[in-house]
Amino acid sequence: MGELARLAEIENSLAIFCMATYGEGDPTDNAQDFYDWLQENDEESLSGLNYTVFALGNKTYEHYNAMGKYVDKRLEELGAKRIFDLGLGDDDGNLEEDFISWREQFWPAVCEHFGVEASGDESSIRQYELKVHTDINMNKVYTGEIGRLKSFEVQKPPFDSKNPFLAPVTVNRKLNKAGDRHLMHLQLDITGSKIRYESGDHVAVFPTNDSELVNRLGEVLGMDLDVVISLNNLDEESNKKHPFPCPTTYRTALTHYLDITNPPRTNVLYELAQYASDPKDQENMRKMASSSPEGKALYQSWVLDSCRNILAILEDMPSLKPPIDHLCELLPRLQARYYSIASSSKVHPNSIHICAVVVEYETKTGRVNKGVATNWLKNKLVNGHKSTVPMYIRKSQFRLPFKASNPVIMIGPGTGIAPFMGFIQERGWLKQQGA
């Protein structure tokens, strides 16, 4: 974390921390080292560091925005100077609207602090430059790996968020017999992986997007999706060289690395507006990206309430023809999905169970939207077919009482029944052991 100390030595520097909270007020995986450093370092002074924090959370959870609040307070304790108040984003409402409201007050405060006159102009600036590879060794092209190239062909522990384990699916069955819902039970084989878990932990899986959606995007954009490309950061000193593993193909990026199913955020609409040939479409897209009441209402009704993903927007706005490389730059990364493990490692040390409901619904526009991960898992074949799931374990604080004799009342804390299936297995095993 020496970067913070070095930043503190640079005159007129500013650090903006966007901190998400997970679980019982815990840091996300990519913030764990930073959190540990903040907790353990009382000696190092951050005097000279200017900072502000925007927190991302959900007020329905007990530890609402705990990480953002902690970082905001801890940086001040270490001598850093807060130049703007902590922002609280609530995903139970409209997280992006919370951020836009915070940002509108943040910029004037920053300009006043540093003595900068704001121009009021907003412009589109590309962060990445497209390079098309016409002559490349295909062994050096990413095909869906999360971190190390060819990591899915040669698996090496330890397995984590950058190096997931390809777990074979040994069981995939529907649990309910009646009703429209599809409640599925999967078992992932972790034999030989050295992966360990405890009841209450989460299994993270890396899903892939529906090939039909990907193909349709290629058709609407008029692109050959099998072109090998790289998107290279124009800032050569940046640690983030690419928005996703490169070199790769558009097809791989849209299948494995980019979120194409969720409604796009307003910043994506703002950037894409320039590619609409119809002035009315441009006006509406920029309006939806604004903070005006009319713009917010239009974005809420046309995008969010209608569940329009990027494909639906392109289909319903024919004048919008963005270059595929800029679209790939703007779309957020496809994230791992976390499921409470529905088994006990004491009973099933070599397998991990998932219990989940398949998500599928009709939107107001008459389209059928499908949950990325649940439909991907549903189609994982067994019975002689080798189907694997890239996965790793994320530890949790959700545990049974330490004393096995303590009685337990199990009340679902928003997790569904899955973790309790593991707890019941574990209590049954303990009873068998005489505990």
Q: What is the pLDDT of residues 358-367, one digit of tens each?
A: 999 999 999 9
In whole angstroms, what is the distance from residue 382 CA to residue 171 CA? 7
CATH superfamily of 211-330: NADPH-cytochrome p450 Reductase; Chain A, domain 3 (1.20.990.10)
Using the predicted structure, report yes or no on whether residue 372 has a pLDDT greater than 90: yes
Check whether 238 has a pLDDT greater than 90.
no
Q: Which residue has the tokens 């971190």?
A: 147
pLDDT tens sequence across 277-310: 999 999 999 999 887 889 989 999 999 999 999 9
Distance (Å, whole) CA 262 – CA 149: 28
165-207+336-432 domain in CATH 2.40.30.10?
yes
Instruction: Please say whether the beta carbons of 49 and 4 come within 8 A.
Output: yes
What is the pLDDT, as a whole number, of residue 356? 94
What's the Cα-to-Cα distance from 154 to each of 93, 148, 211, rounded to whole Å? 43, 10, 25
What is the phi-psi region of residue 236: left when phi exceeds 0, alpha when psi lies from -120 to 50, beta otherwise?
alpha
* Distance linking the first and last C-alpha atoms of the chain: 45
Contacts of residue 377, defined as CB under 8 A and 6 or more positions apart, other chains included, come to 172, 184, 186, 205, 207, 354, 356, 389
Q: Is the pLDDT of residue 11 over 90?
A: no
Provide the residue ranges of all domains of the chain, joining segments of one domain with +: 2-114, 165-207+336-432, 211-330
Higher pLDDT, 109 or 130: 130
The pLDDT of residue 432: 92
Classify residue 160 by its DSSP letter: B
CATH homologous superfamily for the domain 2-114: Flavodoxin domain (3.40.50.360)
* DSSP β-bridge partners for residue 249: 228
Residue 22 amino acid letter: Y
State the pLDDT at residue 112.
Answer: 86
Instruction: Answer whether residue 272 shows pLDDT above 60.
Output: yes
Q: How confident is the model at residue 3 (pLDDT cuts 50, 70, 90)?
A: low
Please state the rounded mean pLDDT for residues 136-165: 95
Q: What is the CA radius of gyration of the chain?
A: 24
pLDDT for 5 equals 65
Decide: 282 and 274 in contact? Cβ < 8 Å: yes
Question: Out of 98-107, 115-124, 339-348, which region has the weakest mean confidence (pLDDT)?
Answer: 115-124
Answer whether 415's CB lies under 8 Å from 354's CB: no
pLDDT-above-90 percentage for the chain: 69
The continuous run of DSSP H or E covering 270 comes out as helix 266-272
